[in-house]
Amino acid sequence: MAGGRIVVGVDGSAPSLKALKWAARQAAATGDTVQAVISWEYPASWATLMPGVPPEFDPEGLAEQILDETVSKALPPDQAAAVTLAVVGGNPSQALIDAAKGAELLVVGDRGRSGFKAAVLGSVSSNVSQHAPCPVVVVRGTVPGIPDVDETDEK
């Protein structure tokens, strides 16, 4: 269905760059739009710290910066300008599942930034594959027509 929405999870990792590139290429072929979503949350360990979170700690601002940089790095300016950006507070899996409501497709990389957290809690790609309200594409390894991140030109 042309004119739909493709949601892609972004965390700044190399797999999320590939997922974003794949989603943009798919959107160009189908006439859909791309919504890049990043989530943030305070580390659970900070809940026990006294006197609290330092005022300069801004996970939402950091997430927004990572999202902007990832979109700029992954896509040419004309494609990047067409991407809708969403910064969401909360668990990454749940943020993507919620964002995917009404979407044609949800796209994620095969692994993100946190190996230990993924090992303990389960990976985002695994969770969204099981619970998303739409089809899910997990972009793995090398994708034909999409250069590896270290092969792309730095801007």
Residue 58 has a pLDDT of 84
Compute the 3-state secondary structure of the chain and give helix, strand, coil in percent, each to the nearest 5: 45, 20, 35
Q: Residue 4's pLDDT band (boundaries 50, 70, 90)?
A: very high
Coil, strand or helix at 60: helix
What integer best gives the mean pLDDT of the chain?
83
Query: What is residue 47's predicted lDDT score, i.e. its pLDDT?
Result: 58
Cβ partners under 8 Å of residue 33, min gap 6: 3, 4, 5, 6, 27, 82, 84
Task: Encode pLDDT of 28-58 as tens digits.
Answer: 999 999 999 999 987 666 556 656 667 777 8
Domains parsed from the chain with CATH numbers:
5-42+53-143 (3.40.50.620)
Q: Model pTM?
A: 0.81
Exposure string for 13-51, b = 16+ CB within 10 A, e = fewer: bebbbbbbbbbbbbbeeeebbbbbbbbbeeeeeeeeeee
What is the arithmetic mean of pLDDT over 81-86? 96
Residue 137: pLDDT over 60 = yes
